[in-house]
Amino acid sequence: MPTKREYRDDYPDKTLYIPGPTEVREDVIEAMCEPMFGHRMDRMTDLYTTIVEDTKTFLGTDNDVIVLTGSGTEFMESSILNLVDENVLVTTCGSFSERQANVAERLGKTVDTLEYEWGQAVKPEDVREALEESDTHYDVVTCVMNESSTGVRNPIEEIGDVVADYPDTYFVVDAVSALGGDYVDIDEHDIDVIFTSVQKAFAMPPGLAVCVVSDDAYERELESDSASWYGGFQRTLDYYDRKGQTHSTPAIPVMLAYRKQMKYMLEESHEARDERHREMAEYTQEWAREHFDMFPEEGYESQTVSCIENTRGIDVAETIDAVSEEYDMVFSNGYGSALGEKTFRIGHMGEHDLESIEALTDAIEDVAGL
């Protein structure tokens, strides 16, 4: 049992380079400070239809968009409930994709995994082989776009093209920590469901999850007896169609922040954000290779979270503390006990740019004596 640690009023501001939450623009934070209004008022319809339609425009998709109060994990669970009767093929290559398998098991589904060592990427040809050679019919194949625990960017576009050859199998992508900072053409690659949390590359305060749903996935859920109530595609999308609102009370202040930030994202564009994130990733990878090494399999490095192999054996925890103390910047250790000191992670997502990433790598160099 934790003891109460009284929250104070005097925490220093730290610049966040962790794999989310990330930095949020000041005026986006300020947008939350409005007198409250009711979630059934016309004003709410203005707000919700604005954020939903702006998100579709930003992502360049004709599919439906749900913005729901919760975090990305909500859609890890509800997409399984909505689409899987029995069998699901979960590709795993790190902690979050393993969590997806665990979630599906807990929901009573029969889970087959296509497993890769941490640091390796999922290969489209293996997915094809698994689908072709198995006697099992899979309702869903899942893949994580950006395995935040290992810094691997999976080739979800090619995997989507493979799954598209199996019309009764739906493709579900966990794009938490990637979407908004790494371009993906959702419709072109037949991605039925793709979801994210807004505190990652959307650079918003946490509290909302975004899910993009194909017509096929919506139709498929209509046949299901076990669809999620809260995260049901039908309930959320039908409510949107009828009223332009959410089925239950949303985190209105976070939606106000969303509206403001999505305007900035539209102004910049999906493609330009992708380019900015690519530059940051390339810079970080080059820096990492000069001083350490990259952890992910070469060619599959994430565009938003670099996982760096601690080849010099620096004390990762100590370095993080010193950088935080001396520079008010926070980056992350490796994920879990296995990677905690063996790797460290830099989140270069959202509002960061080359200059701010260079400021962090300079600070690490200084503190670690590189």
Ligand X SMILES: Cc1ncc(COP(=O)(O)O)c(C=O)c1O
Question: Which residues are near ligand X by CB under 6 A?
Answer: 19-20, 71-73, 96, 144, 146, 148, 174, 176-177, 197
Cα 131 to Cα 186: distance, rounded to the nearest angstrom: 21
The full DSSP string for 104-155 is HHHTT-EEEEEE--TTPPP-HHHHHHHHHH-SSPPSEEEEESEETTTTEE--
Alpha carbon distances (Å) from 101 to 76, 195, 241: 9, 16, 32
Looking at the Cβ atoms of 303 and 314, the one nearer to ligand X is: 303
- By DSSP bridging, strand 329-330 and strand 305-309 are unpaired
Q: How far is the CB of 144 from ligand X (least distance, A)?
A: 5
Q: How far is the CB of 259 from ligand X (least distance, A)?
A: 20
Looking at the Cβ atoms of 78 and 197, the one nearer to ligand X is: 197
**Hunting for tokens 């096929």 — which residue is that?**
216
Q: How far is the CB of 33 from ligand X (least distance, A)?
A: 23
Q: How far is the CB of 183 from ligand X (least distance, A)?
A: 17
HSE value, Cβ hemisphere, 13 Å, CA-based, for 208: 27
Q: How far is the CB of 95 from ligand X (least distance, A)?
A: 8
Alpha carbon distances (Å) from 68 to 8, 73, 81, 221, 271: 30, 11, 16, 18, 25
Q: How far is the CB of 365 from ligand X (least distance, A)?
A: 27
Cα 169 to Cα 205: distance, rounded to the nearest angstrom: 34
- Number of helices (H), then strands (E), in the chain: 13, 15
Q: Which residues contact 26 (CB under 8 A, 6 or more apart)?
A: none
b/e map 181-212, b = 16+ CB within 10 Å:
bbbbebeebbbbbbbbbbbbbbbbbbbbbbbb
Q: How far is the CB of 81 from ligand X (least distance, A)?
A: 16
**Hunting for tokens 């889970």 — which residue is that?**
111
Looking at the Cβ atoms of 95 and 324, the one nearer to ligand X is: 95
Q: How far is the CB of 324 from ligand X (least distance, A)?
A: 20
Q: How far is the CB of 231 from ligand X (least distance, A)?
A: 12
Looking at the Cβ atoms of 61 and 197, the one nearer to ligand X is: 197
Looking at the Cβ atoms of 75 and 170, the one nearer to ligand X is: 75
Roughly how many angstroms between the first and final C-alpha of the chain, as a whole number? 41
Cα 39 to Cα 250: distance, rounded to the nearest angstrom: 7
Element (H, E) at 271: helix 270-291
